[in-house]
Amino acid sequence: MQIGTADEHFKYIAKKEYVKNNEVVVDDLFILSLENCKKSQLKFCLYCEELIQSEQAQSILTYYKSACETFKVSLKLFNRLASKENCAGILVCCKINALPIKSKEPLILVCDGLEISGNIGTIFRTCEAVAVDLILFTNINAKINDDKVVRASRGMIFNVPYVVIDDLKSANEYLNKFNARKIICEPEEGKDFKEIDYNGSVALIVGSERYGVNEYWFTQNCEKLKIPMFGQMDSLNVGVATSLILYEAKYNRNKK
């Protein structure tokens, strides 16, 4: 049985009410094809027949028609909701499933105070590429389920386990459950990032784009690492720096 109408669902998305309910909206064909997106907590699907032009899009639409309530809308209405040009003509509203942490000695990335959706999405992509076990967002100043995060992550927000714990003390207590060594990533102090031992249970802490890592973490007996700078710049974009460090950590752990 269908709940509500196409018009009600249109307004739900247009007014971004889904953000308040910790849901996401997806209209990218690649993301819609991901198994974890298909298996998420699907709420509803809107589609526009005029834009369904490929066999892949038709196949994906057939799946969502069988999995959740689905409504056909006009091209004019759909274009008011679509996040990008030349989308597949399918839009799905869903809630991301919580994923389990499988490792007993996890590699954890702590994102402290991040503000820019594009950086958060980039970090999700990198974490999926190197099989990070968990992302912990704390003191965050952006919405994880923002459309820009979903798009920038290329859907990897569905594939990487993550939690949001705003309070820094609570976040630290959560990390202590894993007996994780805490390593602050900051531009000026500490060892060269290539000289760090990343084996065992490790939590790498990266800070905000403007302010860096919160002073709280410097009181928690954390180790420190830095990426050497060889030009006039004194630091890297947080997404770029995180990518470099995580790949080094992955190679280091693989040598164990």
Q: Give the neighbor-by-neighbor strand order of the sheet with 223-226.
A: 162-164, 134-138, 107-112, 202-206, 181-185, 223-226, 191-192
Name the CATH architecture for the domain at 107-254.
3-Layer(aba) Sandwich (3.40)
Q: Where are the domains of the chain?
A: 6-95, 107-254
Q: Confidence class of residue 256 from pLDDT cuts 50, 70 and 90?
A: low
pLDDT at 3 over 70: no
Three-state SS at 156: helix
pLDDT for the residue numbered 125: 96
Task: Report the percentage of the chain scoring pLDDT > 90.
Answer: 67
pTM to 2 decimal places: 0.91
Average pLDDT over residues 42-49: 95
Please compute the mean of the pLDDT values over residues 161-176 and round it to a whole number. 95
* CATH for 6-95 (3.60.15.10, 1.10.600.10, 3.30.420.40, 3.30.1330.30): 3.30.1330.30
- Sole residue written with tokens 């032009």: 53
Position 209, amino acid: E
pLDDT computed for residue 229 by the predictor: 80
Residue 2 banded pLDDT, cuts 50, 70, 90 = very low
